[in-house]
Amino acid sequence: MRSPGVLTSLLLCLVAAGCASSGGLEDMVPRPSLETTSSIPRPAAAVKEGDAGTQAIASASDDFPASEPAALVEPESPVPASLVAITPSARPARPRSVRHGVVHERRFRDAKPINFGKRSPKHLAVHGVDVSRWQGDIDWVKLRSQGANFVYIKATDGGDHLDPMFRKNWRNADEAGLRRGAYHFFYWCRLASEQADWFIRNVPKDKDALPPVIDVEWNHESSCKRRPSHKNVLDKMQVFMDRLERHYGKRPIIYTSPDFYADNLRGAFQDYPFWLRSVAAHPGKVYPGRDWVFWQYSGSGLSHGVNGRVDLNAFNGDENDWWAWLARQNGSRMASN
């Protein structure tokens, strides 16, 4: 134990300008991660939750107890004031405009509208979005009123990246009445089991959440240039999905793009639900013979509540199909109000 005199000297040293040398507290900052797994280039450094600027995110919700292991998140400097923690007792009351159990009509616009013909997504009843840190600070009540009935939120990628907006988005989307789920961007240069453990470590187990999603694509801007064999791809995906299904009790959804699907997934995983990216034609043309639950039909959506563009998605079915599907995910009957 340190003596009081030594502690006093240390405190004085920290206050003094002369103590800010490169050999002191800076040595405690974790080394940057070299992993790059998003389609958008990432900063080189990573910081540890609990450090200045990210502790607010870690403590902002009851869903994430303070006792859980620390995670590495992408740095944001400076941290916007919107990320300051709100204690449960200080949270604002839920706006009266939020209506749970109601499907809101799609009111999104599109910066690059596509004519899908008779099989347009506008004919589908239930629409939603997917978001990450790149959407910034979202007004979830406004976004819900524009027709975002569900949201998939970027949580993790690889084995050591946590989206710095995940926890805030996870909490606020729920408070605004959206059905929420989390997705993981899969990294082909890391063990699938490590990635599954990382996702489980950071995404709460919520019986009302949408099934977890594994996002599998070829990322041309990743530091990982490996393209595993067809068999290896399927094996790694199976390991990841099995772990998530055991933990969350829900079969994961596979999100993919046309090129990756053509290389690896045609005819595979017939008993898994799919979320398909198809921004120029109906999924039936791009992925013939494949059943799907969600269709990502635009990457250039515009909506009140979000600055800039946002991905737009639709559920494959009518409103009754939506409630029935949700009930099956929860293992029980679910009323629509």
The domain spanning residue 250 has which CATH number? Answer: 3.20.20.80
- 135 contacts 171 by C-beta, under 8 angstroms: no
Active site residue 291: no
- 281 contacts 115 by C-beta, under 8 angstroms: no
Q: pTM score > 0.85 for this model? A: no
Count of domains in the chain? 1
165 within a domain of the structure (yes/no): yes
- pLDDT (tens digit per residue) in 241-297: 999 999 999 999 999 999 999 999 999 999 999 999 999 999 999 999 999 999 999
Active site residue 76: no
- 121 contacts 148 by C-beta, under 8 angstroms: no
228 within a domain of the structure (yes/no): yes
3-state secondary structure of 291: coil
Catalytic residue of the set 35, 157, 163, 217? 217
Catalytic residue of the set 130, 157, 163, 215? 130
Rg (CA), the chain: 22
Task: Write out the two tokens for 230.
Answer: 């067809």
223 within a domain of the structure (yes/no): yes
- pLDDT (tens digit per residue) in 47-104: 333 333 333 333 334 466 443 444 454 443 333 433 333 333 344 444 444 445 799 9
2 within a domain of the structure (yes/no): no
- Cβ neighbours of 10 (radius 10 Å): 12
300 within a domain of the structure (yes/no): yes
Burial of 162 (0-12, 13-18, 19+ CB in 10 A): buried
34 within a domain of the structure (yes/no): no
194 within a domain of the structure (yes/no): yes
178 within a domain of the structure (yes/no): yes
The parent domain of residue 162 ranges over 100-330
